Structure 1
C-alpha cells in the first residue's frame, strides 16, 4: 500500500489496539485496495466460523491457552460481519489474553503486532511518563512537529544511555 503523504514509503501493515477498532473501521480497511492490518480486539468480541453461524466470544475460543501459548483459528472467521484470520495468545508475563485479527499473513501477525510496543513506550514517555507533551498546549502544526521530533530524539538518546 502506498501513502499520499509519503509516496515513496510502502506501508507493510497497520496495527491498532482495542480502543481503535470496530465494525466501521474494519470495513474501511477491507475496501479495495485492502490495507493490511493487525488489530487487537477485545476478548468479549464474538467470532463465528461461518456467516450466521454460532458466535462465541474470543475469550471462550482461547480459554485453554496457557501463558506463553498461542493458536491461530483455522481458516477465516467472521468478526463484525467481515472475514478475517483470528489469532489468540496468552501473554507469558501477565497471563492476559491477546486476540488479533488480520486480513493477511496470519503467521506473522503476533510478532508484527509486538513491534508496536516500542511505539507505545515512546507515546507513554511523551505523554505522562516524563515529557508531558500535552501540557505544552501547542496548536501550530509546524511547532508541534519540531517539538515532537526533538522529544523523540531525547527519548531515543535516553533509551540508548540505559543500554
Structure 2
C-alpha cells in the first residue's frame, strides 16, 4: 500500500493504491483519488481500507506501508479487521509509543549495529506489537537504522518482507512515466481521470500477464551485476507490453485477444 502524487492535467493529485504481490510484481487491486495535498489522515486511510474490503478479503494478509501510514487509531483498525501489517516508523517516533528506558534503547541499537538486527515486543492501547530494527542496507548516514512496526508476533524477522514495498514504486513508475505516461494527459475532470487510471491499470495487468506467460515459454536474457546478482535485461512489464503492442494493432485485435483470455460474459466487454 502506498500513495503517490501524480500531476495529471494542470494540478497534482494524491492517488492511494492498494496492490497485491503477484509473482514478484505489484498488481493494483484498489485505488482512490484525493484532490488535497499532504499526508492522508487516519480517517481517510481507514475509510479507504474499509471500502477495499468489499473488493478483496484482507484478513490474514500482510499490509506493507511506508512511514506516512502510522497512527494508533489506524493500527487498532487493522487489528480489529485481522489485517497483519508491517510499517516503517519515522525516526524517533517509536520512542513516543514504546515505554523503554534510555539504557534499553542504547542496548537495542548496539545489538543492531553489531548483529544487523534486534527486536522488542511491547503493548500499546492493550494491543501487542513488535518493533524490529535493522541496519540500513542503503548505508544512509542520516538513518543508519530502519525501524519497523508489526502486529505479526509469531513470525521471526518479518521485517525482511518490507523490501517488497519497492515493487509498488516500480508500478507507479510504469503507470506515470515509463510505460503509459499518465502524467502527460491533460484531463482536469476527476471522474475522467479516475476512469482513465482504471483503463490503464487493466492494460497494465494484461501486460504483466503477457510478460509472465512469455517468461514460461521464452525467457529473457539475464545480466549479472558486479556484485554477482542476476537481473532481467527487460522487466516482466516491459516485455509483456512489447508483445501486446506487436499483437494488438487495432481495436478488433484487442477484442479478439480479450475473447480468448476471458469469458464472453466478462464485464470488461461492456466497456470495450
Q: TM-score, normalised by structure 2?
A: 0.45
Taking the TM superposition and a 5 Å limit, the aligned residue runs for 1:1-163 are 3-6=53-56, 12-31=61-80, 33-45=81-93, 46=95, 47-48=97-98, 53-54=99-100, 62-64=108-110, 65-66=112-113, 69-73=116-120, 76-78=121-123, 82-95=127-140, 96-104=144-152, 105-127=154-176, 131-136=180-185, 137=187, 139-140=191-192, 141-151=194-204, 159-160=235-236
Hey, what's the Cα distance between the residues in 2 that align with 1:68 and 1:123? 34
Q: TM-score, normalised by structure 1?
A: 0.68
- How many aligned residue pairs are there? 152
Q: Quick check: which has more Rg, 1 or 2?
A: 2
Give the CA deviation at 1:83. Answer: 3.0
**Unmatched segments (≥5 aa) in structure 1:** none
* Higher fraction of helix: 2
Quote the residue 2:30 is aligned against. none
Hey, what's the Cα distance between the residues in 1 that align with 2:191 and 2:114? 44
Root mean square deviation of aligned Cα = 3.6
* Higher fraction of strand: 2
